Amino acid sequence: MAGTDIDEAVARYGALFPGTEFRAAKGPGDFSYRYSFVGDENVTLRSSVFPAEHWGRLPVLPDYVVAWWREGSGAVDVGSHEVRSSGTRPFLLPSGRSFSFRSEPAVQNLVHIDATFLEETAAELHEGRSRPLVFDHTRPPSPEQTTAWRHAVGEASPVLQDATSSPLLRMQAGLLVARATLELFPWHDVPFSAEMRAPRMSAVRAAIEYLHHHADRPITPADAARAAGISTRVLQLAVRRHEDTTRARCSAGSGSTACTPSCATRRPPRPPCGRSPSSGASATSAGSPRPTRSASASCRARRCAAEGCQAVSPPAPGRVRQTKR
């Protein structure tokens, strides 16, 4: 889509994803926008030219999205938890929740990876069922990771842009991009229940994911609730109702681990749920690291959210997948 009318552009960009709030302010000079994409149901390569300041809010996206700027800069989670980006280094849009954004007049490239496709690809690494992934979008990738990812996207691009490419070639190209993306940012999988994955629970998921992301800091459930835009009480009630945390038994692998009542402590650095510092770590048969956020670790975050622990202790080894540097 393309044109020169800013009102038309605002309406069209707002219609890309149902529930989008999109606003813009035209500056001096001519205005000419363009949005294009190529690809298939698994991976699409997109380009956006929008020469005016724009801002708003995006809903929960159906894709995991990596982007970079050819011109301009922008920010997501505008406010106290704002993450800014600029230049050609790739950055990740928040996933699994809605978020606010603001951008200067910009030219931007984006890679959209279907959520189900990336989650199924990730299951090759954590050897479990396909589950939602939690990326740490606040951590910029290293130059080496960026180079490897760009090489993968560059290799896949001709196949994705060619309408005559065979389904097999397209699948191989999509997997190349998906696997490279899993090496670009730290991530882990979270065993949310079906109810917890419902759109109406997105704020609660965001709060729990906030606890996971900041497990190395002395944060509280109140901090997580504030970051997600809900009250601590709403977070506690939702987690208790949907995760049964008051009687939680969290399975890890083929066995199970009971969450202990020590989560009720009010003073760091005692861990929120009893766990040996060395538990939860594992590796693939080839010796390479894989995400090992155990169900016990996920339980701890949910239980602390439900019972109001005052601090979350630093993560044990193996709790968060560290990508290759």
Show the domains of the chain with their CATH numbers. Answer: 1-189 (2.60.120.10), 190-307 (no CATH)
DSSP state of 212: H
State mean pLDDT over 92-113: 92
- The answer, yes or no, to whether residue 167 has pLDDT greater than 60, is yes
HSE at residue 79, side-chain half, CA atoms within 13 A, is 9
Phi, psi of 306 (to 5 degrees): -75, -35
Q: Per mean pLDDT, which range of 147-151, 160-164, 318-322 is the poorest?
A: 318-322
- The answer, yes or no, to whether residue 247 has pLDDT greater than 70, is no
State mean pLDDT over 132-144: 85
pLDDT for residue 246: 36
DSSP state of 214: T
167 is written with which tokens? 């389904």
- The answer, yes or no, to whether residue 287 has pLDDT greater than 50, is no
pTM beyond 0.85: the answer is no
148 is written with which tokens? 């490897």
Q: Per mean pLDDT, which range of 65-74, 169-178, 203-212 is the poorest?
A: 203-212
pLDDT for residue 47: 97
State mean pLDDT over 211-225: 73
Average pLDDT, the chain: 75
Maximum mean pLDDT: which of 186-200, 230-244, 272-286: 230-244
Quick one: pLDDT band at residue 213, thresholds 50, 70, 90?
low
Coil, strand or helix at 80: coil
End-to-end CA distance of the chain: 38
pLDDT for residue 94: 87
Cα 306–139–112 angle (5° rounding)? 90
DSSP state of 140: P
pLDDT for residue 135: 83
pLDDT for residue 320: 41
- The answer, yes or no, to whether residue 322 has pLDDT greater than 80, is no
- C-alpha distances out from residue 324 to 113, 135, 147, 289, 318, Å: 21, 15, 12, 9, 14
